[in-house]
Amino acid sequence: MRITKPFIFYGILLMALVNMGCKQSKKENQSEMEIETTASKPNPIEETTFGKMPNGTEVKKFTLKNEAGTEVDVITYGGIITRWTAPDRNGFYDDVVLGFDNLDQYLEGNPYFGALIGRYGNRIAKGKFSLDGKTYTLATNDGDNHLHGGEKGFDKVILDAMPKEDEEGAVLVLTYTSEDGEEGYPGKLDVKVTYTLTDDNALDIQYEAVTDKPTVVNLTQHSYFNLSGQLSKPVLDHKIHLNADTYLPVDGGLIPTGEFREVAGTPFDFTEPKLIGKEIEADNEQLGLGQGYDHCWVLNEGKDSFRLAASAYHEKTGRFMEVYTNEPGIQFYSGNFLDGTLPAKGGGTYVKRSGFCLETQHYPDSPNQSDFPSVRLNPGEKYTTRTMYKLSTK
């Protein structure tokens, strides 16, 4: 058979076109598959707008999710955790942290619900401390004393946020530069706080900071928990365990007196799990001063510096929370100043003791108490500390 040249030409052209078409459709299929794989994987971090500051600055909300189904909402205002869901023993999810429904309510007056606290978590007596012979004066925003970083602590600033995903889980990195002299503290402080939600329901918090002048730092997280999921109900039915044989008694302004007191035989003994409500009304001078529990416990040392500090158990729902840290202390605050005036999320109000805080930290007033572990940070050093809240059921 005689094959003409044009026939060969058109034949080759046709084959080439068919081949190209195949390749093209293969490519399309491939990208469909890729899209499918991406789409079937849960997106661990969702970004939305939470509200606007009075000056128009947008406050963003990031929702961290894990495979188990837990969700943690964090906003860029104060690094506040506004929602944190956890399953009960039947797998029913509830929000377990106090907070508000919208930004305006946070701006109107927030008793540090869910907030990052800095530069100094807890109190500094009379708002004064000295470093290298120079005295620094801070705001006295809690009676005669300085509390939680002052008038505009880290709980009230806008932080930069960078969401990312790594093998550990959903990660949100928050950064903030506190200028030299801000709230009276020396040194420009660059702060980085990393929240990681892991698949085994732990929120791991890593705090880092560097300074350009000697300063003091004590960062913490001020979430109020109510593991019942009924956020406006008292938490007296939660069992607390604190890994601490001693605590720091306070004066009338809740400043440690300097004494390390044994907890044994007192209402401050949580070495075995005990209901918050069991002895909170006991006739005890220290409970009177705190109007309940509002003290720093001196954590026992462990084999590792990162050790179990505390746990909380709500028997009815089975929700159990463990707190691990490498900090020397933990402030256990039983929500004594909540008085039923603040609106609860989804309705009702936050009554007295409707939430408890387990704030890992260095001891209150450390800058003025030479027997306490130092909170000084020098240029060239890096402040790093870690706390993990792990939720489960039993």
> In terms of CB distance, is 172 or 330 closer to ligand GLA?
330
Among 273, 337, 379, 382, contact with ligand GLA (rule: CB under 6 A): 337
Between residue 199 and residue 238, which ones bind ligand GLA under the rule CB under 6 A? none
Alpha-carbon Rg of the chain, whole angstroms?
26
Applying CB under 6 A, which of residues 332, 333, 356, 372 lies at the interface with ligand GLA? 333
Residue nearest to ligand GLA (CB): 111
Q: Which is nearer to ligand GLA, 148 or 319 (CB)?
A: 148
Burial of residue 225, with CB atoms counted within 10 A of its CB: 0-12 exposed, 13-18 middle, 19 or more buried: buried
Smallest distance, Å, CB 373 to ligand GLA?
Answer: 19
- Count CA atoms within 13 Å of residue 118 on its CB side: 28
Q: How far is CA 187 from CA 1, 73, 140, 184, 197, in A?
A: 93, 31, 20, 10, 32
DSSP state of 393: E
Q: What is the DSSP letter of 75?
A: E
Work out whether 331 is an interface residue with ligand GLA (CB under 6 A): yes
Residue 321 Cβ vs ligand GLA, minimum distance, rounded to whole Å: 17
Active site residues: 222, 359
User: The tokens of 149 are what?
Assistant: 């970083």
The answer to the question of residue 153 lying near ligand GLA (CB under 6 A) is no
Q: Is residue 112 a contact residue for ligand GLA (CB under 6 A)?
A: yes
Give the footprint of ligand GLA on residues 241-260 (CB under 6 A).
254
Minimum distance of ligand GLA from residue 40's CB (angstroms): 43
User: Which of 60, 345 has the CB closer to ligand GLA?
Assistant: 345
Residues 6+ apart with CB under 8 A from 62: 45, 46, 47, 73, 74, 75, 161, 163, 172
Q: Is 111 near ligand GLA (CB under 6 A)?
A: yes
Site for ligand GLA in 174-203 (CB under 6 A): none
Kindly state the tokens that stand for 382.
């890096």
Report how far residue 90's alpha carbon sits from residue 366's, in angstroms, rounded to the nearest whole number: 44
The span from the CA of 359 to the CA of 224, in Å, is 9
Among 5-13, 55-63, 210-218, 330-338, the segment contacting ligand GLA (CB under 6 A): 330-338
With CA atoms as reference, report the closest residue to 375 among 304, 300, 296. Answer: 296
Give residues in contact with ligand GLA (CB under 6 A): 111-112, 147, 254, 294, 331, 333, 337, 357, 359
